[in-house]
Structure 1
Amino acid sequence: MDRLIQEIKNKFENNDDFFLQPDYFMDIPVILMGFNTLIDLTESREALHIYIERSTSTNKTMFEFMSLFGEVLENDTNEVVSSIMEGKLIIYFESTNKYVISKPVPKLLNRFFEPPANESVVQGPLSSFIEDIDQNIGIVRKQLNSDHLRVKSFSVGRVEKKRISLLYCDGSADMDLVNNVIRQLEMNLDKEVNNLQNLSSTMGFSAWASISKFNTTELPQEVAQSLRVGKVALIVDRLPFAFILPSLLWDMFALENDRNYPMPVMLLLRLLRIVGVLLTLIFPALYVALVAVNPEVLRIELALAVSQSRDSVPYPALVEILLVLVILELTLEATVRLPKSIGPTVTMVGGIILGQAIVSAKLVSNLIIIILAATTIANSTVVGFQNSLSIRLFKYVIVFLAAIYGVLGMLAGLVLVCTYLASLNTFGVPYVQINLAKDRTKNG
């Protein structure tokens, strides 16, 4: 095998979407090279053969024949690698040890420019993943144009075969993490993967974990940045998002899109998200603790105002807060499930009309509506919908402890949540580890 071919093959041996296809052009042996996630190989070969039939005459020299496809170049591994990463088709002529960089028929990355449906981007790339795995890998390759990107694919499922691709950057990713993920996938190739719970079971994660071990995103730029800082990504066929491993606590507060703003603005946005999480966890529990258990902590003026707002309310503070929180959860769930044309109407009815009516009926106090609104807004600042669900779940634990032990119970609940988060790890990487998050600055 020629030296150039061997070097290219070694360079991309860990990329399952790399092809090295022998072919013949007018009985002349050639080798086609490129990525099948960026190139439509079948259409490209047909187009080349049709072009040869229309353009070739018998009196052409070998050099003139090769020039039909592009500029004839000598062996240069770096040039070939760079062109392959850009999505070009390399035509290598074995008899001359020369190659041509040709423009192929590209893989149609349809919906490439559609904005994401579940993650809002204010100032940044608007591309999002789709349901086709090859096109998703191609989108990542477009976003992260590096020859260090590696792709390894697996076929999982006994009844319904489904393809899973592992993406990582050679030299940046922790190879222990990569090998653990590969080993886990190879051990469970017979398991069906149709949703996130199936994938968690395949990866050996507990189905009862409150915090997802995956950082789920439909934004290619987030996947590209995660790969740069040493994480790995899983892309599952027919699922329009990627799963990033390991998921860290800092992922709740940091987005790659934040770096499109000036540094002070970026830091302020991340600080606001941290404050939002704290308000979500503390506000409802603090209300219950101060009203039901520790009213002596309040100043006399504030205690009288709270007492006056709860005048004629027949329920204790715990029942009161649970009543409005459950109504809020029902409203949010209804808004998500209903069509977009009806969702805002339900939000208005549940948030304004029902809220005003429940206060007028003296079922809850005015203050509880303020706390409810602040909690809902604060919870929405967290990065990732799954993270916001986890925070909402922890909120109830702290509320129950505050109803029993007051302010001390609220603090104990916060310590309990922190302890639980500290106990989590993904293939040996602690959930509260921030080293990868610090590397974002170096790569930014």
Structure 2
Amino acid sequence: MVPFLQEMKSRLGSNDDFFIQRVFLLDKPVVIMGLSTLIDVVNTKSALLEYIEQSFPSGKTVEEVIKAMSTTPHIEINEAISAITKGKLIIYFEVTKQRVIVDPIMKLLNRSIESPTNENVFQGSMSSFTEDIDTNIGIARKEFNSRRLVVKSYYTGSLQKKRLSLLYDEERVDRKLVNQVIDRIENNQDKEINHIQNLTKVMGFNSMELIPKFNTTELPQEAANSIRKGRVVLFIDRIPFALVLPSLLWDMFALENDKNLPKPIMISLRLLRVVGVLATLIMPGLYVALVSVNPEVLRIELALSIAQSRDGVPYPALIEIIMMLVVLELVIEASIRLPRSIGPTITMVGGIILGQAVVAAQLVSNLLIIILAATTIANSTVVGVQNSLSIRLFKYLIVVLASIYGVLGILGGMVLVSAYLAGLTTFGVSYLYINPAERRRDS
């Protein structure tokens, strides 16, 4: 057997979906090879023969026709193996010993463009990103139809090649930001990128930070809006959302779809989200502070009403609220993991039964159930799932400080959270900055 074919068979022959077939193209013997799970073999051979038959009368040889179709004129063993794992077709000419890479007809392994599943849209485009990176780039180009859009792609990983693409507006983007992102990627192309934590390490970010450095979105209009504002959008193959750099605080309050509404309504909705964040952070701690540390702040009638609601509760306010907050977190996590057909029903029934049971057993007060329900609703007003998760963690810090210092502890906790957010930077851009594009023009 030819050394090239023998080496390919020894390297990939253990895969049941790897095929090596000897065919004739206009009486010329060739060997084709690839992965049958990625390539539509029958349609690829038919299309190949049809193309050669149409091109052969022009006076070209079969080798010249195939070379015109190929993406790489002459390849080595490692290049051939890498191309096959990406879904390419290798054609080996038995007479001339040449081998080329050809783009075959691929099997349809990607889902069609669907409506977003994690981000609900009100009066806006219902399309969302998919797992296929080429489809995502195409959707982004349709949303940001401009010659200024630049797309740069890289392949990372030594064991598993993963494609990573950067999109940005060449006129509005901060060139220092782009250069730093490209340098980090090029210097770490041997590292695997299979999830966001891998990408965080490649970019040199601290993986222990509570606030994510990437603002994730599955909405094309939000990604296009970020590009218009001079930010960098990243796509990773097989990940169905866009990653926006840098991530800013205002991302959790503002959506591009808000601008489809009248301006007063848009401003009201964004202020409502700000109130939701403040309520999520303050309300649990305020309950603990007013019940156990500073009851004198309340009017006597309200203080007596709260005391009456806690009559018979055996736990202090801190243990009471942390216990119920943890149970609520379990209910939220269960609603995510359970199948869609039964998840909402079980969590709703479980929440109602559990809430009534703990109140009837006098383990918690009625007021606490109201506080927890209001906190959960307020937390859901934030834009982006990753932002709501961070806020859910910060409220525990404020609850603990409120149990020690009362209302002053709430104030101290808010100062600590604000100081932490103010200290966050992404490639020199502060997390509290409004618009990086304005920063570039000002400088």
Aligned 8 A contact 1:284 1:321 in 2: yes
Name the CA distance, whole Å, in 1 between partners of 2:352 and 2:262: 37
Q: Secondary structure at the match of 1:419?
A: helix
> What's 2:118 paired with?
118
Tell me: CA distance 1:112–1:222, structure 2 relative to 1, closer, same or farther (3 Å).
farther
Please give the secondary structure, in 2, of the residue aligned with 1:166.
strand
Report if aligned partners of 2:229, 2:435 keep a CA contact under 8 Å in 1. Answer: no
CA distance in 2, matches of 1:350, 1:310: 23
Q: Which residue number in structure 1 is paired with residue 142 of structure 2?
A: 142
Q: Deviations over 1:33-59 (max 9, x none)?
A: xxxxxxxxxx9xx99x979988xx99x
Show the counterpart of 1:306: 306
1:398, 1:194 → 2: CA distance?
A: 35
Q: State percent identity of aligned pairs.
A: 67
Residues 46-78 of structure 1, C-alpha deviation per residue, up to 9 Å, x if partnerless? Answer: 99x979988xx99xxxxxxxxxxxxxxxxxxxx
Secondary structure of 1:160's counterpart equals coil
Q: Equivalent residue for 1:187?
A: 187
Deviation string 1:104-151 (CA, Å, 9 cap, x unpaired) is: x9xx99755410111111211111111111111111111111110001
Provide the C-alpha distance between the structure 1 equivalents of 2:245 and 2:404, rounded to a whole number of angstroms.
38
Q: Deviations over 1:379-427 (max 9, x none)?
A: 0000000000000000000000000111001100000000000000000
Shift of 1:160: 1.0
SS in 1 for 2:166: strand
Matched, 1:293 2:293: yes
The equivalent residue for 1:230 is 230
Distance 2:352 2:438 in 1: 43
Please report how far the alpha carbon of residue 436 of structure 1 lies from its aligned counterpart in structure 2 after TM superposition: 4.1
Q: Return the alpha-carbon distance in structure 2 between the equivalents of residues 144 and 435 of structure 1.
A: 18
Distance 2:312 2:397 in 1: 28
Aligned to 2:339, the other structure's residue is in SS state coil
Return the offset for 1:345.
Answer: 2.0
Contact 2:130/2:136 (CA < 8 Å) preserved in 1? yes
Contact 1:143 1:224 (8 Å CA) reproduced: yes
CA distance in structure 2 between the partners assigned to 1:110 and 1:127 by the alignment:
15
CA deviation profile, 1:56-101 (whole Å, cap 9, x unmatched): x99xxxxxxxxxxxxxxxxxxxxxxxxxxxxxxxxxxxxxxxxxxx
Instruction: After TM superposition, give the deviation of residue 342 of structure 1 in Å.
Output: 1.4
Partner of 2:258: 258
What is the rounded CA distance, in whole Å, between the counterparts of 1:317 and 1:426 in structure 2? 39
Q: Distance in 2 between matches of 1:53 and 1:383?
A: 56
Cα distance in 1 between the residues matched to 2:365 and 2:183: 56
| SS across alignment from 2:155 | strand
Q: Is it true that 1:271 corresponds to 2:250 in the alignment? A: no
Q: Counterparts of 1:33-432 in structure 2 under 5 Å?
A: 111=111, 113-432=113-432
Alpha-carbon offset, residue 321 of structure 1: 0.4
Give the match for residue 25 of structure 1: none
Distance 1:357 1:285 in 2: 24
Structure 2 distance, partners of 1:166, 1:112, is 23
| 1:292 partner letter | S
For 1:226-259, what per-residue CA distance to the aligned partner results, in whole angstroms no more than 9, with x for missing partners? 0001000110011111100000000010011111
For residue 159 of structure 1, report the CA deviation from its aligned partner. 0.8
| Cα deviation digits, residues 197-234 of structure 1 (max 9, x gap) | 11111111111000000000111111101000100011
Separation (CA, whole Å) in 1 of partners of 2:355 and 2:139: 45
Contact map agreement 2:174 2:436 (CA 8 A) in 1: no
- Give the AA of the match of 2:336: V
- Normalising by the residue count of structure 1, what TM-score does the alignment of the two structures yield? 0.74
**Consecutive unaligned residues in structure 2, runs of 5 or more:** 1-42, 59-104
Kept in 1, the 8 Å contact 2:423–2:430? The answer is yes
Contact preservation (8 Å) 2:174, 2:437: no
Q: Is the 8 A contact 1:133 1:237 kept in 2?
A: yes
- How far residue 158 of structure 1 moved from its aligned partner, in angstroms, is 1.3
CA distance 1:301–1:353, shift in 2 (3 Å): same
Aligned length: 349
1:76 corresponding residue in structure 2: none
In structure 2, what residue type is equivalent to 1:372? L
Deviations 1:289-334 (A, max 9, x none): 1111111111101100000000000000000101110110000000
Letter in 2 for 1:217: T
* Structure 1 residues not aligned, in runs of 5+: 1-42, 59-104, 440-444
* Alpha-carbon separation, structure 1, partners of 2:122 and 2:311: 45
Instruction: Quote the residue 2:87 is aligned against.
Output: none
CA distance in 2, matches of 1:51, 1:190: 38
Amino acid at match of 2:405: Y
Per the TM alignment, residue 349 of structure 1 is displaced from its structure 2 partner at its CA by 2.5
Q: Look up the SS of the partner of 1:151 in the other structure.
A: strand
Whole-angstrom CA distance in 2 between matches of 1:389 and 1:167: 27
Specify the alignment match of 1:78 in structure 2.
none
Give the secondary-structure state (helix, strand or coil) at the position aligned to 2:399. helix
Aligned partner letter, 1:348: M
Look up the equivalent residue of 2:306 and give its one-letter code.
V
* Mapped partners of 1:317, 1:164: distance in 2: 49
SS of alignment partner, residue 146 of structure 1: coil
